[in-house]
Amino acid sequence: MSARVAHVITGTPQGVVVCGLVVEDGRVLSVVTGRAAGADSGADLTITTTHADARRLAAGELDASVVVMQGRAKVAGDVGKLLALLPLTRTPQYRSALAALHERTTTES
């Protein structure tokens, strides 16, 4: 599974923040924020969550499948790719990529 995902996070202290994930063959290749992520008009999928949910997702306290199924995430684009990518969100490699992103960004509320 390969995809380009834009994760739009609303309600952060900096306003709206966009994170871009590139997934190739089921592995996260890169995670970027800011202009590089926002400029990625080639995203296959855009997921929008609140800042609170994004923090809980990054900390592993909330499952992405739950957020989607409860309607707490807005999804636009290729929903088939979303369904294929959801198992990836439970892997240590994905959690590690989010932890690295968390270390590089300010997420204090």
Residue 19 parent element (H or E)? strand 15-24
- Provide the CATH number for the domain formed by 3-97 in this structure: 3.30.1050.10
104: pLDDT confidence band, cut at 50, 70 and 90? low
* Domain residue ranges in the chain: 3-97
Look at residue 76 in the predicted model and tell me its pLDDT: 93
Tell me: the pLDDT tens digits for 49-68?
999 998 888 888 889 899 99
pLDDT reading at 102 higher than 70: no
Comparing CA positions, the residue from 6, 2, 22, 11 lying closest to residue 75 is 6
Residue 93 parent element (H or E)? helix 92-104
